[in-house]
Amino acid sequence: MKLKHVILGIVGGAVAVFPLIIHSDYYQHLIIIALMWVVIGSSWNLLAGYTGQVSFGHAMFFGTGAYTAGIFVTKLEISAWWGMMFGGITAMILALVVGWICFRLRGPYFALATLAGGEIFRLIATNWESLTEGMVGILIIQTFRSKLPYYYIALALAASCVYVIYIIMKSKWGYYFLSIREDQDAAESLGINTVLYKNISLLVSAFFTGMAGAFYMNYMAFIDPEVVFSLHFISIMAILVGIVGGVATIMGPAVGAFVMVGVQELFRSSFFGMAPKYVSKAHALVFGLLVIFVIMFLANGIVGDWAKIKRSIFRLKTSS
């Protein structure tokens, strides 16, 4: 328990001072993206890992947040930073509708409904050109030239998201979410309004994912439907971050986010140009292999199976 806090402190401190020491825009960019994924992965984990409602459509909340911020600028001429707050709120409003429709379904049916929901929103964003500019996308002017402000905004967002989820899971809500995951009917007989609490979980999850989307708009300054409503770049990636890091653990998605962004970048850049160019095309394949590996050997993810990983490292050391 103690050691865990020390490690958390060291890693947290390292992330906090990183951009002051490493001035490379490239590495700062990678960490900003990883921090954004900490937010999305943790939000997904709250709903899927802790509450047991697996979503295949988190891109709809991410995209809605991003488009809210973007449309604030292009249509209302309000700073996209206001959009960041409202990105979360719009995603929550969307979540109310999604919850009202999809929580009539359970298990795989719920997952399929969210999958369809994500695709519906991609198509809406593509075709409602008067509002979203369609495939042309939305381009805004970045507020800051330096990466530093973005870095700390992302860090603050990631830290508050993880902290809020940590607090929630220590409260009545947390117990209720877990009960619903374990057995919805039994939960109902314990006096838990399962419909209400599933919706609360979805709302919190959508809020942070929407914020992350709005942050993405601010930071990248360009979005189009194929990116922010993407099934495999957002919805599936959210699941991978959760699974690789560790479903239903507080720090799992955070670890998963850094691992997945790292792996993605290694392949996208063909191992920083050291490998032949065609390697960059293989990142989806490697994601697949990674997931198979994690499911076979670390079913609870890196954080969930940390004791197991430590044991096998220890065994390697003693046998050599």
Partner 1 sequence: MPEETGVMAVLEVKDLIKDFGGLRAVSNVTFHVDEGEIMGLIGPNGSGKTTIFNCITSYFPITSGRVFFKGTNITGMKTHQICRLGIGRTFQVVRPLARMSVLDNVTASAFSRVNSIKEARSEAERVLDFCALLGEKDKLAKSLPIGGRKRLEIARALATKPRLLLLDETAAGLNPSELDEAIELIKKIRESGVSILIVEHIMKVIMSISDRIHAINFGQTIAEGKPDEVANNRAVIEAYLGEEYAQG
Binding footprint of partner 1 on the chain (CB under 8 A)? 170-172, 175-176, 178-179, 182-183, 185-194
Nearest Cα to Cα of residue 299 among 263, 248, 262, 261 = 248
Residue 267: how many other CB atoms lie within 10 Å: 19
Question: Whose CA is closest to 95, among 171, 229, 186, 201?
Answer: 201
Q: C-beta of 52: minimal distance to partner 1 in Å?
A: 10
Provide, rounded to whole angstroms, the least separation between the CB of residue 165 and partner 1: 16
Q: Dig out the tokens for 165 from the structure.
A: 């989820």
Count of Cβ atoms closer than 10 Å to residue 229 Cβ: 29
The SS3 assignment for 99 reads helix
We find the least distance from the C-beta atom of residue 202 to partner 1, in angstroms, to be 18
Output 62 or 176, the one with its CB closest to partner 1. 176
Instruction: Give the span between the Cα atoms of 178 and 45, in whole angstroms.
Output: 12
- Please identify which residue in the block is written with the tokens 């899927």: 48
CB 256 within 8 A of CB 302: yes
- Least distance (Å) from partner 1 to the CB of residue 43? 21
Q: For partner 1, give the closer residue by CB, 82 or 175.
A: 175
Between 104 and 170, whose beta carbon lies closer to partner 1?
Answer: 170
Kindly state the smallest distance separating residue 113's Cβ from partner 1, in Å: 22
Encode burial over 104-127: b for 16+ CB neighbours within 10 A, e otherwise.
eeeeeebbebbbebbbebbebbee
Go through the chain and tell me how many residues it has. 320
In the complex, the smallest distance separating the C-beta of residue 195 from partner 1, rounded to whole angstroms, is 9
Q: Please, are residues 65 and 91 in contact by the beta-carbon 8 Å criterion?
A: yes
Structural contact between residues 265 and 30, judged by C-beta atoms closer than 8 angstroms: yes
Q: How far is the CB of 99 from partner 1 (least distance, A)?
A: 17
Nearest distance in Å: CB 40, partner 1: 24
Q: Which is nearer to partner 1, 59 or 204 (CB)?
A: 204
Question: At its nearest, how many Å lie between partner 1 and the CB of residue 198?
Answer: 12
Rounded to 10 degrees, what is the CA torsion of 310, 313, 317, 320? Answer: 150
Spatial distance between the Cα atoms of 26 and 285, rounded to a whole number of angstroms:
25
119 versus 188: smaller Cβ distance to partner 1: 188
The pair of three-digit structure tokens given for residue 62, joined into one six-digit string: 């991410």
- Residue closer to partner 1, measured from CB, 77 or 185: 185
Choose between 22 and 186: whose C-beta lies nearer to partner 1. 186
Residue number, 194 or 199, with CB nearest to partner 1: 194
> Dihedral angle at the C-alpha atoms of 8, 9, 12, 15, nearest 10 degrees?
-120
